């Protein structure tokens, strides 16, 4: 089993300082210790063995992805792990949040053993009070194909009366994602009626909808419960 990537990277940084060698050489040495010919091969194999890596491998430019769970079951961390997977492949990631401050977002990155600073300015967080579909489209207007954006969270998009209805906003974002080739990940609340004693995972029918929304607008979904994960077409 491969050791956690963040531990191996820490070892590589220490080796780089101790032996005064470039970091990429130190990473390759650490990979060799783990039985791989190069760091890139090790990283690719590690991605295949993580839940976020497996999910990311299923995503395509233009996808709208729903990540749903009851509070405290890891939906925010899973979404950030998807952002990390995108950045590992050289794509930009943006985290839009109506819940967290920038510091909160960085704290959650640390919780998954990641540091956005290591990705050479590929990550940005946006915690504006004005986040809506039109705002997201404007911010991502020049985004390159493959950019991944997390929206935290779906049900808050239409909390302000002046914003369009939730259905209209998601349709706007779907059209934008398709045209630009970006991936949009929506963190979603699950209805309180969901009972884990009768169903091991929530599903699309358990998504909390304070306002009407056609959930077939989403192309993929991921549901979490007690550390376990289930993927499904939306």
Which residue range(s) make up the domain with 160? 53-233
| pTM of the predicted model over 0.85 | no
Among 6-20, 120-134, 167-181, 195-209, top mean pLDDT goes to 167-181
Residues 37 and 118 in one domain: no
Check whether residue 25 and residue 66 sit in a common domain: no
Task: Tell whether 16 and 107 lie within a shared domain.
Answer: no
pLDDT at 3: 66
Q: Which of 222, 95, 209 is nearest to 150 (CA)?
A: 95
Q: 117-173: per-residue pLDDT in tens?
A: 888 789 999 999 999 999 999 999 999 999 999 999 999 998 888 999 999 999 999
C-alpha–C-alpha distance, residues 146 and 148, integer Å? 6
Residue 108's domain is classified under what CATH number? 3.40.50.300
Q: What is the pLDDT of residues 76-118, one digit of tens each?
A: 989 999 999 999 888 999 999 999 999 999 888 888 878 888 8
Angstrom distance (rounded) from CA 6 to CA 136:
31
H/E/C letters for each residue in 18-34? HHCCCHHHHHHHHHHHC
User: Contact, 66 vs 154, CB < 8 A?
Assistant: yes
């Amino acid at each position: 089993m491969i050791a956690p990537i963040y531990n191996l990277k820490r070892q590589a940084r220490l080796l780089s300082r101790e032996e005064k060698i470039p970091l990429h050489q130190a990473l390759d040495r650490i990979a060799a210790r783990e039985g791989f010919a190069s760091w890139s091969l090790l990283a690719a194999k590690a991605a295949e063995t993580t839940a976020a890596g497996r999910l990311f491998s299923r995503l395509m430019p233009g996808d709208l992805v729903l990540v749903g769970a009851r509070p405290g079951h890891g939906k925010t961390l899973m979404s950030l792990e998807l952002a990390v997977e995108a950045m590992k492949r050289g794509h930009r990631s943006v985290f839009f949040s109506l819940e967290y401050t920038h510091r909160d977002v960085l704290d959650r990155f640390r919780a998954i053993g990641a540091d956005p600073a290591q990705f050479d300015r590929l990550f940005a967080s946006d915690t504006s009070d004005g986040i809506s579909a039109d705002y997201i489209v404007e911010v991502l207007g020049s985004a390159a194909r493959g950019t991944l954006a997390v929206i935290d969270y779906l049900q808050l998009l239409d909390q302000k009366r002046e914003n369009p209805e939730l259905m209209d906003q998601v349709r706007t974002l779907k059209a934008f994602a398709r045209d630009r080739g970006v991936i949009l990940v929506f963190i979603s609340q699950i209805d309180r009626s969901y009972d884990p004693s009768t169903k091991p995972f929530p599903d699309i029918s358990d998504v909390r909808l304070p306002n009407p929304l056609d959930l077939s607008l989403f192309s993929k979904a991921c549901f979490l419960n007690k550390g376990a994960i289930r993927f499904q077409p939306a």
